[in-house]
Amino acid sequence: MSPPKLIPMENLLAAWDGESVSIHRDRETGTWMFVCVHSTTLGSAAGGTRMKHYPRPTDALADGMRLSEAMSLKFACVDFPHGGGKAVIALPGPEVPQGEARRRLLHEYGAFINSLGGLYSCAPDMNTSAADMDVVAEVSPYVFC
């Protein structure tokens, strides 16, 4: 009997030298959210929040994993007391939500970040802003910018 073939997400995770990936799906919108923690050697992980459409959830995961490693290197270079992490809000379509839909999605994201209990703190990145982080901070203290 041959061993089972790994699916692409398993391949990504098996090849990565990071510590953890947390996954959440917003059922209302179909948005996938990934928090990739590359390292907590220097302290809890931190990094930006990227909001964009990806062709597949695994593409979003791969982006988050790659970028979280870069954050580990950046923080280590400047002796910043945090490990590297990155969050990706993978939108189901190319349209970036605005208004109340955006606010609701950011609250959902904040609740997800909060559920990690301080493992990761988020900041703005692609298609997110300091004002968005203020919205996230309404439901989670794990925000910086």
Give the model confidence (pLDDT) of 29-80 as tens digits: 999 999 999 999 999 999 999 999 999 999 999 999 999 999 999 999 999 9
pLDDT at residue 6 greater than cutoff 70: no
The CATH fold assigned to 15-136 is Rossmann fold (3.40.50)
For residue 110, the cross-strand partners are none
Confidence of residue 2 (pLDDT cuts 50, 70, 90): low
Residue-wise DSSP of the chain = -PPPPPPHHHHHHHH---SEEEEEEETTTTEEEEEEE---SSSSEEEEEEEEE-SSHHHHHHHHHHHHHHHHHHHHHTT-S-EEEEEEEEESSSPPP-HHHHHHHHHHHHHHHHHTTTSEEEEE-TT--HHHHHHHTTT-S-B--
Query: Tell me, what's the pLDDT at 8?
Result: 83
Per cent of the chain over pLDDT 90 is 91
Catalytic site residues? 86
CA-based diameter of the chain, in Å? 55
Report how far apart, in Å, the C-alpha atoms of 46 and of each of 5, 15, 101, 110 are: 33, 22, 25, 14
Q: Facing residues of 31 across strands?
A: 26
Q: What pTM was computed for the model?
A: 0.93
Q: Which pLDDT score, from 0 to 100, does residue 112 have?
A: 98
List the chain domain ranges. 15-136
